[in-house]
């Protein structure tokens, strides 16, 4: 039987985007943004501090970076733990050496399990972004509104004792969302921006039924795990890609206004002894450029908002 023509009908189909989450616009047509002191490129270093449960449920899908072997997958579980016990401290030394302001996306359950690590982050007066309860606690359409709201509230409650500043940002585990996730985040009365959508180089207003959020562009293409473990590129290639991205964004910024370079890092990946050198090399390259401004996610967002 022929397909009924109603199958192809969509009530929100219109010019630009086929949804009402945000207004369509070309990046090159937007109002140019000026970063402090005439800087061209805002450097946002985002460090994900994560807890992967050993008894992973994988509902509705397995978490990215999670367990892959039959239970108990101690090899992968202990490798993730290595990042929070060893790798992160190599990274902190590198940030101090090159005077980089890092932002930390943290699972709520990790905060409960590793208060020593959380206190180290708090002592640095660094920004914390909520990263869900744990990496196996996905936000998806199978959750009721109350269940998802409970996950968000439990995460924020676990993180707040260790936060030196208000928690304004959110990064979903594996960037996984349900249709109602943005509404739940906005309802929390704490979250002002989220980092799940990777469809732009600059922030933009994202509409929810509870009011606007801001979508912040944290690149997935430049993520250490994605390039090194998914694409299987070498450490040298990883470093070259970051530098190439920085150079191009700076050149664009000189003509079109400030840009953001968001680097997503994982201690269990880049904090390894055979990889930390490439991170140091990247930071040395970026911070040697007079056009680069290193800032937290909220600082970048505040400067952008002040010029909209």
58, two tokens: 């994988």
Q: Which residues pair with 194 in a beta bridge?
A: 170, 215
Model pLDDT, residue 11: 81
Residue with tokens 């694409």: 231
Q: What is the pLDDT along the chain (308 residues), one digit of tens a residue?
A: 788 888 778 888 778 888 899 999 989 889 999 999 999 999 999 999 999 999 999 999 999 999 999 999 999 999 999 999 999 999 999 999 999 999 999 999 999 999 999 999 999 999 999 999 999 999 999 999 999 999 999 999 999 999 999 999 999 999 999 999 999 999 998 999 999 999 999 999 999 999 999 999 999 999 999 999 999 999 999 999 999 999 999 999 999 999 999 999 999 999 999 999 999 999 999 999 999 999 999 999 999 999 99
Model pLDDT, residue 195: 98
Model pLDDT, residue 18: 83
Q: Which one, of 142, 133, 79, 3, lies nearest residue 268 by Cα?
A: 79
Could you give the C-alpha distances from 220 to 20, 174, 226, 230, 231, in angstroms and in order? 24, 10, 7, 11, 12
Model pLDDT, residue 166: 95
Q: Which residues pair with 304 in a beta bridge?
A: none
Model pLDDT, residue 93: 98
Model pLDDT, residue 2: 81
Q: Which residues pair with 47 in a beta bridge?
A: 104, 265
| 35-305 CATH pick, 3.40.50.300, 3.30.160.70, 3.20.20.370, 3.90.76.10 | 3.20.20.370
């Amino acid at each position: 039987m022929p397909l009924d023509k109603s199958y192809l009908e969509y009530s929100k189909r219109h010019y630009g985007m086929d949804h009402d989450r945000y207004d369509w616009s070309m990046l090159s047509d937007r109002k140019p943004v000026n970063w402090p002191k005439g800087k061209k490129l805002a450097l946002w270093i985002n460090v994900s501090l994560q807890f992967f449960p050993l008894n992973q449920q994988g509902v509705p899908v397995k978490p990215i970076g999670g367990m892959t072997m039959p239970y108990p997958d101690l090899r992968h579980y202990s490798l993730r733990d290595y990042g929070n016990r060893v790798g992160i401290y190599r990274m902190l030394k590198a940030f101090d050496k090159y005077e980089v302001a890092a932002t930390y996306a943290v699972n709520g359950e990790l905060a409960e399990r590793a208060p020593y690590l959380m206190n180290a982050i708090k002592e640095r007066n660094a920004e914390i972004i909520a990263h869900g309860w744990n990496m196996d606690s996905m936000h998806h359409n199978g959750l009721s509104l109350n269940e998802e709201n409970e996950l968000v509230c439990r995460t924020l409650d676990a993180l707040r004792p260790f936060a030196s500043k208000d928690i304004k940002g959110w990064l979903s585990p594996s960037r996984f969302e349900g249709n109602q996730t943005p509404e739940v985040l906005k309802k929390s009365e704490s979250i002002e921006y989220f980092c799940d959508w990777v469809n732009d180089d600059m922030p933009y207003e994202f509409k929810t039924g509870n009011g606007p959020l801001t979508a912040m562009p944290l690149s997935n293409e430049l993520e250490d795990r994605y390039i090194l473990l998914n694409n299987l590129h070498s450490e040298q290639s990883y470093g070259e890609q970051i530098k190439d991205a920085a150079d191009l964004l700076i050149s664009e910024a000189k003509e079109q206004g400030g840009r953001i370079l968001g680097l997503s890092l994982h201690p269990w990946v880049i904090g390894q002894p055979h990889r930390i050198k490439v991170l140091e090399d990247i930071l040395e390259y970026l911070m040697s450029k007079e056009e680069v401004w290193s800032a937290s996610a909220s600082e970048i967002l505040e400067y952008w908002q002040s010029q909209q």
